[in-house]
Structure 1
Amino acid sequence: MAFSPASYSQNQPVLDALSRCIAACEMCADACLHEDHVKMMVPCIRLDRDCADICRLTAAFIARGSDHAKHVLRECIEICQKCADECGQHQHDHCQQCAAACRACVEACQQYAG
């Protein structure tokens, strides 16, 4: 799945979704650390961090047109979905915003993958 610079505009929607997901996950993880029952938020924090990291890696692979982007993209979709599911279980605003960003990222990645 190598891409030429001419496909930059085709890549922009998925790169934007990945960027929004990274930011939402980082903010959610930080906000979870300030919740009263932090121990209950540990799975959420871990998934937020994993999701942000895989989104960063996926964006880099897509941006540089890596032949391995397709493989990383599949993992990104899986982790983003798990993060959306976990965050979606919590009523905190930051978790709900993160879940929405993760779901949007899953959709953008699936569309990109075709």
Structure 2
Amino acid sequence: MSKYSSCLEACQECAVACQNCLYQMAGMESSNDCPKCCIECAEICEQAVRVLARDSRYAEQYCQLCAEICDWCAEQCGEHDHEHCKKCAEACRECAEECRKMVGAAA
């Protein structure tokens, strides 16, 4: 499992950041898809953690999708000035990068 450790960690951190952003945005107006993207992103990150933990034969596909959703979430949350949105966007960018590294290494 150590071959996935940095990707696992990035996915876990991203899921937490997305959950926090989602919680902080509750009841607030949003001019874009934040907090909707946080729901999608937290779910795929949590699923990616489970897939990587069991060394699934589909890990690459999950991580590719995870990177795409993280890109979307980073874009949406990155448009906001809230501190929780900025932290979420950064965690999403890091997760997307780690997922792409994992996919590239497995290819």
Taking structure 2 as the reference length, the TM-score comes to 0.91
Two-structure CA RMSD over aligned residues (Å): 1.2
Pick from 81, 84, 97 the counterpart of residue 87 of structure 2: 97
Equivalents in 1 of 2:70, 2:51: separation in Å?
Answer: 17
1:20 aligns with 2:13: yes
Taking structure 1 as the reference length, the TM-score comes to 0.86
- Figure out how many residues of one structure are paired with residues of the other and give that number: 104
1:32-43 aligned at under 5 Å gives the runs 32-34=25-27, 38-40=28-30, 43=33
Equivalents in 2 of 1:72, 1:9: separation in Å?
Answer: 18
Which ranges in structure 2 are unaligned for 5 or more consecutive residues? none
1:62 aligns with 2:55: no
> Does structure 2 retain, via aligned residues, the 8 Å contact 1:58–1:69?
yes
> Does structure 1 retain, via aligned residues, the 8 Å contact 2:34–2:77?
yes
Question: Where does residue 106 of structure 1 map in the other structure?
Answer: 96
Which ranges in structure 1 are unaligned for 5 or more consecutive residues? 1-7
Larger Rg: 1
Equivalents in 2 of 1:15, 1:27: separation in Å?
Answer: 18
**How many Å apart are 1:59 and its aligned residue?**
1.1
1:74 aligns with 2:59: no
> Does structure 1 retain, via aligned residues, the 8 Å contact 2:60–2:102?
no
Question: Where does residue 86 of structure 1 map in the other structure?
Answer: 76
